[in-house]
Amino acid sequence: MNEYAPQGTGAAGLGDGTRAVRAGLPEAVKNEPPLPGPVFAAHFHLPGDVEGPYAYGRDTNPTWTLLERAIGELEAPGEDVHTIVFASGMAAVSAVLLSQTHSGDTVVLPDDGYQALPLLREQLEAYGIHVRTAPTGDDAQLAALDGARLLWIETPSNPGLDVCDVRRLVDAAHAGRTLVAVDNTLATPLGQRPLELGADFSVASGTKGLTGHGDVLLGYVVCRDPELAARVRRWRKIVGAIPGPMEAWLAHRSLATIQLRAQRQWANALAVAEALTHRTDVSGLRYPGLPTDRSHKTAARQMRGFGSVVSFTLPDRAHAEQFMAALHLVEDATSFGGVRSTAERRGRWGGDAVPEGFIRFSAGAEDTEDLVADVLRALDHAGARD
Ligand SMILES: *Cc1c(COP(=O)(O)O)cnc(C)c1O
């Protein structure tokens, strides 16, 4: 099993679409496929001394190698970064938090982030790690940084879509020797590049907009520092939170279209958000791409695109349920970032501090007119039954 020679498409000068279709591909070899198929191997031939890139399937796999290279090229074009793929976003999140901290350390988390963070908090505290929390908005985490080992940022936050100033938080954190990790799930590397904003880690679920088809669970960590990366890689090895070769290959195949998907989905999200601004039945509308959104200025400074998720609140639970039931083109499902629009009444899960009528809406790649018309028709329908 040879280590694939890179094609070198991480050059900073290329456009996102060009970079995406070629990201991570090996050097072209006559009679070989452009994207080699998944390598299904628990072990690799290993006569004599233990040397070479591939020995055992929990440590390395050629299909991961190509995917890791591809994600690294998108997260940090033209840079030499370390990328480590995981079985899921939570595997990647946990790997950073648990591999970089020890008992007695302090970690700062957002209090409005992904719904599994409170579970992780319990686990960190059980290991003797102190946890402080603060909201994402208004850079409120700044006040909690003193003496911390690691700051965890989620911007835009899920599901509330608040945004914080990554550079400002990074500068304050680094002044106190605090490491910074940014959850980049919602923005995807096309929408935001945390390492360029100074973060030590960009961490994400690849389950959402990165792969975009709702058929793969995946996670990743990207960082520049080889020692920080080695700890994350060691964590993957000891907990074994590895993606299957098939999932890794599907993810790489899906990455080729990320720019096309993102363009359409972001445009659709903005169109839906704009249409909702005219509705009297909608309150609490949030989309960082809306010029009137209170996060827009900060978002526009640090993001290259504003994502596919829009959140808003309908008058009450029944109204929200009627809206959901009346949608034809939008599936009632959790998760987000896929090519088929999805939405859900978030309060049905419990856990997030959201009103009963709160809707998290994820714009897919449908034609804009069709999607906006479906949403407006479902709103009218729900309103008429009140
Ligand atoms: C979904 C999500 C995760 C977890 O990802 P999984 O792939 O479901 O494990 C982490 N962070 C954010 C912001 C998410 O939306």
Q: How far apart are CA 226 and CA 216, in angstroms?
A: 28
The answer, yes or no, to whether any atom of ligand 1 lies below 6 A from the CB of 184, is no
Which pLDDT value is given to residue 2? Answer: 47
Which pLDDT value is given to residue 1? Answer: 39
Range of the domain at 292: 258-384
Residues 341/366, Cβ–Cβ less than 8 Å: yes
Distance from chain centroid for Cα 198: 17
Which pLDDT value is given to residue 171? Answer: 98
Q: Which of 114, 210, 346, 360 to mutate to test the pocket of ligand 1 (most atoms within 8 A of CB)?
A: 114
Whether residue 9 is contained in a domain is answered as no
The answer, yes or no, to whether any atom of ligand 1 lies below 6 A from the CB of 337, is no
Which pLDDT value is given to residue 100? Answer: 98
Q: How far apart are CA 225 and CA 212, in angstroms?
A: 29
Asked whether residue 248 falls in the same domain as residue 264, the answer is no
- Band (pLDDT 50/70/90 cuts) for residue 12 is low
The answer, yes or no, to whether any atom of ligand 1 lies below 6 A from the CB of 88, is yes
Whether residue 325 is contained in a domain is answered as yes
Which residue lies with its CA nearest to atom 11 of ligand 1? Answer: 114
Average pLDDT estimate for 116-140: 97
Atom of ligand 1 nearest to the CA of 218: 7
Q: Any idea what the CATH number is for the domain that residue 271 is in?
A: 3.90.1150.10
Domain end marker among 236, 255, 274: 255
- Band (pLDDT 50/70/90 cuts) for residue 350 is confident
Asked whether residue 281 falls in the same domain as residue 205, the answer is no
Q: Which of 86, 96, 185, 211 to mutate to test the pocket of ligand 1 (most atoms within 8 A of CB)?
A: 185
Tell me how far the alpha carbon of residue 358 lies from the centroid of ligand 1, in angstroms. 19
The answer, yes or no, to whether any atom of ligand 1 lies below 6 A from the CB of 219, is yes
| Residue 68: closest CA among 214, 198, 213, 218 | 218
Which pLDDT value is given to residue 245? Answer: 98
Atom of ligand 1 nearest to the CA of 335: 1
Asked whether residue 247 falls in the same domain as residue 264, the answer is no
Q: How far apart are CA 273 and CA 190, in angstroms?
A: 20
Q: Inform me whether the pLDDT recorded for 283 exceeds 60.
A: yes
Asked whether residue 366 falls in the same domain as residue 231, the answer is no
Asked whether residue 106 falls in the same domain as residue 134, the answer is yes
Atom of ligand 1 nearest to the CA of 93: 10
Which residue lies with its CA nearest to atom 5 of ligand 1? Answer: 89
Which pLDDT value is given to residue 3? Answer: 60
What confidence tens digit (pLDDT) does each residue in 299-315 have?
Answer: 999 999 999 999 999 99
Atom of ligand 1 nearest to the CA of 90: 9
Q: How far apart are CA 156 and CA 257, in angstroms?
A: 23
DSSP 8-21: ----TTS-HHHHHH
Domain count, the chain: 2
Q: Crossing angle for the helix pair 368-384 and 258-276, nearest 10 degrees? A: 40
Whether residue 106 is contained in a domain is answered as yes
Tell me how far the alpha carbon of residue 76 lies from the centroid of ligand 1, in angstroms. 21
Whether residue 4 is contained in a domain is answered as no
Which pLDDT value is given to residue 312? Answer: 98
Which residue lies with its CA nearest to atom 7 of ligand 1? Answer: 89
Q: Any idea what the CATH number is for the domain that residue 112 is in?
A: 3.40.640.10
The answer, yes or no, to whether any atom of ligand 1 lies below 6 A from the CB of 157, is no
Domain end marker among 255, 281, 308: 255
Q: Inform me whether the pLDDT recorded for 8 exceeds 80.
A: no
Tell me how far the alpha carbon of residue 381 lies from the centroid of ligand 1, in angstroms. 32
Residues 211/89, Cβ–Cβ less than 8 Å: no
Bridge partner residues of 205 (DSSP):
219
Asked whether residue 328 falls in the same domain as residue 262, the answer is yes
Domain end marker among 238, 255, 272: 255
Whole-structure pTM value:
0.96
Asked whether residue 53 falls in the same domain as residue 195, the answer is yes
Distance from chain centroid for Cα 76: 15
Which pLDDT value is given to residue 349? Answer: 87
What confidence tens digit (pLDDT) does each residue in 76-121 have?
Answer: 999 999 999 999 999 999 999 999 999 999 999 999 999 999 999 9
Average pLDDT estimate for 120-144: 98
Q: How far apart are CA 126 and CA 119, in angstroms?
A: 11
Which one is predicted more confidently, 220 or 383?
A: 220
Summary mean pLDDT of the chain: 96
Helix, strand, coil: what percent of the chain each, to 5?
A: 40, 15, 45
Residue count of the chain? 386
Which pLDDT value is given to residue 255? Answer: 98
Asked whether residue 221 falls in the same domain as residue 332, the answer is no
Tell me how far the alpha carbon of residue 91 lies from the centroid of ligand 1, in angstroms. 9
Tell me how far the alpha carbon of residue 209 lies from the centroid of ligand 1, in angstroms. 11
Asked whether residue 203 falls in the same domain as residue 321, the answer is no
Q: Which of 243-252, 258-267, 268-277, 349-358 has the lowest mean pLDDT?
A: 349-358
Asked whether residue 59 falls in the same domain as residue 152, the answer is yes
Whether residue 346 is contained in a domain is answered as yes
Which pLDDT value is given to residue 141? Answer: 98
Which pLDDT value is given to residue 13? Answer: 81
Whether residue 352 is contained in a domain is answered as yes
DSSP structure class, residue 26 = B
Whether residue 7 is contained in a domain is answered as no
Which pLDDT value is given to residue 123? Answer: 97
What token pair was written down for 346? 């978030």
Q: Which of 161, 205, 336 to mutate to test the pocket of ligand 1 (most atoms within 8 A of CB)?
A: 205
| Residue 82: closest CA among 95, 354, 277 | 95
The answer, yes or no, to whether any atom of ligand 1 lies below 6 A from the CB of 183, is yes
Whether residue 291 is contained in a domain is answered as yes
Which pLDDT value is given to residue 179? Answer: 98
Asked whether residue 220 falls in the same domain as residue 339, the answer is no
Tell me how far the alpha carbon of residue 329 lies from the centroid of ligand 1, in angstroms. 24
